[in-house]
Amino acid sequence: MAERKLFKGNEAVAEAAVRAGCRFFFGYPITPQNEIPEYMSRRLPEVGGVFLQAESEVAAINMVYGAAGAGGRVMTSSSSPGISLKQEGISYIAGAELPCLIVNMVRGGPGLGGIQPAQSDYFQAVKGGGHGDYHCIVFAPASVQEMVDLTIQAFDVAERYRMPVMILGDGILGQMMEPVAFPDPVPVDAALADWATAGARDGRAPRLINSIYLRPDELFRHNLKLQARFDEAKIAEVRHEAINTDDADIVLVAYGTTSRVCRSAMDRARAAGIRVGLVRPITVSPFPYQAIADVARTARAFLTVEMSLGQMVEDVKLAVCGAAPVHFYGTTGGVVPTSSAIADEVRKIAMAEVGK
Amino acid sequence: MKQVYAVPKALQPRATHYCPGCTHGIAHKLVAETIDELGVRDRTIGVAPVGCAVFAYDYFDCDFQQAAHGRAPAVATGIKRVVPDAVVFTYQGDGDLASIGAAEIVHAAMRGERITVIFINNAIYGMTGGQMAPTTLLGQKTTTSPAGREPGHAGSPIRIAEMLATIPGAAYVARVSLSSPANVARAKKAIRKAFDTQLSGAGFSLVECLSTCPTNWGMAPVEAMDWLESNMIPYYPLGEFRTPEGGVSNG
């Protein structure tokens, strides 16, 4: 590990991607993630890579498709309205079994919405987003350092499962500065994947990157194959952090920026004598259902906190499966919940559910 | 005995799914012959569109990627930027290129993307069953312009070659017709020139091929060829609209 440097979240993601061997970036400007393409436009040429500003998010994600299909380590980044435009391409990338990284620095919606942080793209990110039966692996970092660490891992994970990986950040994570340590650049295996279409050289048979299967039985088998890979990821890639859950009566569940506010709220509540814990999903797809189910064996109640009007809470309810009441507190439109508001909610739940 | 014809090596020796009289087979053959002549089959990557040619990869004997509707130029851009020494071509119809993919084709040309685009203009949507295309002629009846295309309602047909020729990054832009042996021979020369343009690094190249769709035009193949020559060529003049040397020759 090198020395720690002060880095803005967006630029940290970009630098981490370069160190992970990403050499191709296709994007389109949108606030609050512009520092990513701007950084890449400076940095990628230094390492022999290519930055290209596309004519639209639609074109950018299809450039990612072509580049990934040709064997390139490739990424794009955007924010909510732009991610909506990319959904067509993400569906094709998933269908064609191509690895890539997509960064979403989420802002408030729907529509043009606002440019302040939000978590209202959760459903879109973890339940598919585009058309068809597929999943992305979605990381939800909560600090600039974690964005670096997860970005570094994202490319390997995408290539292992041959599916798109998304970093689900938000405007705060992208814009804030924190000290980070970058790992040394990883040597990238120069050998092309055995499915990449970079020309049928040396007498090999031609290859095809494709997502069309007109025969229902073929598409059935294809989709089962995609699902089987995601099932492997459910076993090997689910990540979460549990804090103070062993003795907790009330367990907060939050990811990303909101989880940081929840930690403060947890400390406040603990200081007031309420035993509060926190489960923080680090992968929101696949979701840490089992970790939450385990906590539900002893917890008296859950409180899901999101910068949305209630999206992840549905997965928390699936995980808790009726073992305890699941409450929700959310803010929307770019408003960040305060730790005092969350602590108030915790107190109300404690009065009602725990009796103190 | 002298061999006068053989299936190009860049084509797989198999029957196509195209309708009788459809000119896709001619266009495929011309592209494959060009790849053979240039000796680049092992570094060629084709990009298939959405439309009747969605299965083009079943016929060409080279690497292929299948793209979302209209996005072939963006996909080709991604490929070419990763493998700069590859020969990358897209094969797109008029719905794919001139309608839903209008932005992608314009900006690929603007960037001078070193790709070759084979643009099949048959003035109709084929695979979906004969709907109006941006290139449908005025008065032409389709399943979504049952009384004939009316300019006050649906606008006038778009001339892609002329439009793209205004873009500095477009190094070679030509329109050819696949309607007669003489026109096919000219089409072959244009396609070769387009690939040569890519190989020389001069910039973007596109050949618009006026084509027939007997099935959706509701015509016999020979009748369709006649209709193309008497109706499409007057509106879509043949010729080179932009060349790497700067010359332009119409007619």
Over the stretch A305-339, which tens digit does the pLDDT of each residue have?
999 999 999 999 999 999 999 999 999 999 999 99
Query: Cβ contact (<8 Å) for B66 and A58?
Result: no
**What residues of chain A lie within 8 A of the CB of B63, using their CB?**
197-200, 206-208
What local confidence, expressed as pLDDT, does residue A21 receive?
96
Strand partners, B47: B65, B90
Average pLDDT over residues B94-104: 98
A69 has a chain B CB within 8 A of its CB:
yes
CA of B28, closest CA in chain A: separation in Å? 17
CA of B14, closest CA in chain A: separation in Å? 16
ipTM > 0.85 (yes/no): yes
pLDDT grade for A354, boundaries at 50, 70 and 90: confident
Strand partners, A104: A78, A168
B54 has a chain A CB within 8 A of its CB:
yes
Average pLDDT over residues B35-51: 98
Which member of B71, B106, B111 has the closest CB to residue A62? B71
What local confidence, expressed as pLDDT, does residue A192 receive?
82
Distance (Å) of CA B25 to CA A75, B31, B56, B175, B184? 37, 10, 10, 18, 12
Residue A353 has pLDDT above 90, yes or no: no
What local confidence, expressed as pLDDT, does residue A128 receive?
81
Query: Cβ contact (<8 Å) for A207 and B63?
Result: yes
A193 has a chain B CB within 8 A of its CB:
no
Residue A257 has pLDDT above 70, yes or no: yes
Amino acid at A42: R
What local confidence, expressed as pLDDT, does residue A2 receive?
66
**What residues of chain B lie within 8 A of the CB of A96, using their CB?**
65-66
SS3 assignment, position B21:
coil
What local confidence, expressed as pLDDT, does residue B247 receive?
64
Residue A1 has pLDDT above 60, yes or no: no
Q: Each residue of A136-178: pLDDT tens digit?
A: 999 999 999 999 999 999 999 999 999 999 999 999 999 999 9
Q: Each residue of A214-237: pLDDT tens digit?
A: 999 999 999 999 999 999 999 999
Percent over 70 (pLDDT), chain A = 99
Q: How far is CA A22 from its chain centroid? A: 17
Query: Cβ contact (<8 Å) for B68 and A200?
Result: no
| Nearest-Cα residue of chain B relative to residue A65 | B75
B144 has a chain A CB within 8 A of its CB:
no
Peptide bond into A32 cis (omega under 30): yes
User: Residues with Cβ < 8 Å from B54, sequence gap 6 or more?
Assistant: A212, B48, B66, B127
Instruction: List the single best residue of A25, A55, A73 to mutate versus B (max B Cβ within 10 A).
Output: A55
B98 has a chain A CB within 8 A of its CB:
no
Q: The tokens 């999101």 sit on which residue?
A: A306
Distance (Å) of CA A68 to CA B79, B107, B120, B178? 8, 20, 27, 35
Q: Give the C-alpha separation, A164 to A167, whole Å.
A: 10
A54 has a chain B CB within 8 A of its CB:
yes
Residue A70 has pLDDT above 50, yes or no: yes
Percent over 90 (pLDDT), chain A = 96
CA of B70, closest CA in chain A: separation in Å? 10
Average predicted confidence (pLDDT) for chain B: 96
Which member of B43, B57, B76 has the closest CB to residue A66? B76
Query: Cβ contact (<8 Å) for B63 and A65?
Result: no
SS3 assignment, position B151:
helix
Amino acid at B216: N
Instruction: List the single best residue of A90, A91, A197, A211 to mutate versus B (max B Cβ within 10 A).
Output: A197
A342-356, B6-20, B26-40, range with greatest mean pLDDT = B26-40
| Nearest-Cα residue of chain B relative to residue A92 | B68
Residue A82 has pLDDT above 60, yes or no: yes
What local confidence, expressed as pLDDT, does residue B251 receive?
46
CA of B107, closest CA in chain A: separation in Å? 7
Query: Cβ contact (<8 Å) for A56 and B65?
Result: no
What local confidence, expressed as pLDDT, does residue B206 receive?
98
A197 has a chain B CB within 8 A of its CB:
yes
Query: Cβ contact (<8 Å) for B78 and A68?
Result: yes
Q: What is the pTM of this model?
A: 0.97
Kind and range of the H or E element at A166?
strand A164-170
**What residues of chain A lie within 8 A of the CB of B65, using their CB?**
65-66, 69-70, 96, 197, 208-210
Which member of B45, B66, B83 has the closest CB to residue A210? B66
Q: Each residue of B175-234: pLDDT tens digit?
A: 999 999 999 999 999 999 999 999 999 999 999 999 999 999 999 999 999 999 999 999
